[in-house]
Amino acid sequence: MGLAIDGLSSGLDTTTLINSLMTLEAAPQNLIKTRAAAVQNRISALQGLNSAVADLATKAAKLAEPKGLELYTATSSSPKVTIAVGAGAKPGTVDFTVSQLAQMQVSVTKNLSAWPDTTLTITGQDGKATSVTPSSTSLDDVVSAVNASGAGVTASKISVGGGEYRLQFASAKTGAAGGFTVSGLGGPADLTTVQTAQDAQIKLWTGTSAEATLSSPTNTFADLLQGVSATVSEVSATPTRVTVVRDNAQISRAATDLVSTANGVLAQISTKTAVVTSTDAAGNPITSAGIFTGDSAIRTVSTAVLAAASAPIGGRSPSEFGISVTKTGTVEFDATKFSEALAKDPAGTMAAVSTIAGRVASAAKQASDPVNGLISTKIKGQQSTAKDYAAQIESWDDRLQTRRETLQRTYSALEVALSGMKAQSAWLSSQLAGLSTSSGSTSS
């Protein structure tokens, strides 16, 4: 930046003068900045809309899947049996009793002050032997070595009073396959198994000729019914009944969520395309247009979503299933009507919702696809424009900086020149004054 000499000779406020001139010089750049800010606002609005449309596409596509609306709930007649419903569940019921719960093996040593050998071997139920060599015979080192060995057994040092300790070995998992033996003590009698490894067992159709026993290494029995697992927590000879039925309430919520998400997209578009008229303080009318006003591409998105939700399904109107389009351009969901249709024709109603969801998913994907979606393409175009504006603003920064430095040098040079002229004027004045004094003396 050039040197500024504020009015040393002229008395002018050159800094203020230069700033005023630069304000005029910067007018074109300010116009570009205003346009750039508008583009950024538009990008943000488009990105927000794109995210909402992408979310709609995801939810709709999930419901449009062949099993997207196969939603079921399961109940258990016993509080000691919990049920989990997964993919592929079907209606059904089954009774069973619980014979035994899964448990790990737990074995303890006699009272020890140190391990009686330099090594020990842990052999699993599958016959795999793991040799463990502690850094010393201290019980703490044995515990650390066993727990780091990966033998599938956890060791613990347990106080039994009087300053004496025993080591407890426990299988890392429940089930009969978790059984093990430990060698390295004085003999088998030196290790007592206080809990055996065993699988959980339930009996189906107990007391009948069809009785069958199921086993599980854990207390959970997967696919007891198709897509349904049961977890038991207590042995019981009283039969527990598990029942799986279609969850109409969950299906209704899924349809409601689809309509709500679609309306969220339509609301964004409606709000940002609205033209609002208001008045200023003086009562003069002010009209402001939304950021999407006049945008045919955004209007196309709105039209496509509405059409997907309202088009007939096999000659039947979606309104028969509780889904309709209002006069204000939103989608309406009638839960009562939907429930009645679902109770009367479950398969037809779910097929209709699946069809609508598929159409909505397709329309939403065409708009939000990251590669060639309608909204995504507009975002890329606006980002390109924003990048161009940023380059122009940067170029103007350099140009304005150069102009400011030029003005500062010019005014500084003027101040210096004016200062020199003043000095010369003062010198000439003093010389003239000297000549006048000298002439007066001669005349005398």
What is the arithmetic mean of pLDDT over 146-168?
95
Q: What is the rounded distance in angstroms from the CA atom of residue 344 to the CA atom of residue 334?
A: 16
219 vs 234: CA distance, rounded Å:
9
pLDDT in tens, 393-408: 999 989 999 988 888 8
Q: What share of the chain is helix, strand, coil (3-state, %, to 5)?
A: 50, 25, 25
- Mean of the per-residue pLDDT values of the chain: 89
Give pLDDT tens digits for 244-294. 999 999 999 999 999 999 999 999 998 888 877 777 777 777 777 888 888
Give residue 33's Cα distance to chain centre.
33
Average of per-residue pLDDT across 104-119: 93
Q: What is the pLDDT of residue 6?
A: 60
CA distances from 231 to 84, 240, 251 (A): 8, 12, 25
Global pTM value: 0.67
pLDDT reported for residue 442? 56
pLDDT cut 70: percent of the chain above it: 94
Cβ-in-10-Å burial (0-12, 13-18, 19+) of 207 comes to exposed
Give the pLDDT band (50/70/90) at residue 187: low
The per-residue pLDDT for 2 is 45
User: Which tokens go with 91?
Assistant: 């209606």
Q: Does the pLDDT value for residue 438 go beyond 70?
A: no
- Given a contact cutoff of 8 angstroms between Cβ atoms, the answer to whether 102 and 199 are in contact is yes
Lowest-pLDDT range, 41-50, 70-79, 365-374, 421-430? 421-430
Distance CA 59, CA 283 (A): 47
Given a cut of 60, whether residue 91 has pLDDT beyond it is yes
What average pLDDT does this structure show over 317-330? Answer: 89
Q: Structural domain boundaries of the chain? A: 1-71+247-412, 72-100+200-246, 106-195
When pLDDT is averaged across residues 84-95 and rounded to a whole number, the result is 90
What's the pLDDT score for residue 1?
45
Q: Buried (b) or exposed (e) across 57-70, using 16+ Cβ within 10 A?
A: bebbbebbeeebbb
Report pLDDT for 425. 76
- Predicted local confidence at residue 405, as pLDDT: 85
More confident residue, 159 or 329: 159
* Extended beta strands in 152-294, E state: 153-161, 164-171, 180-183, 191-195, 200-204, 212-216, 220-225, 228-232, 236-246, 275-279, 285-289
pLDDT digits (tens, 9 = 90+) for 72-86: 999 999 999 999 998
Q: Average of pLDDT values for 318-332?
A: 89
**pLDDT value at position 189?**
56
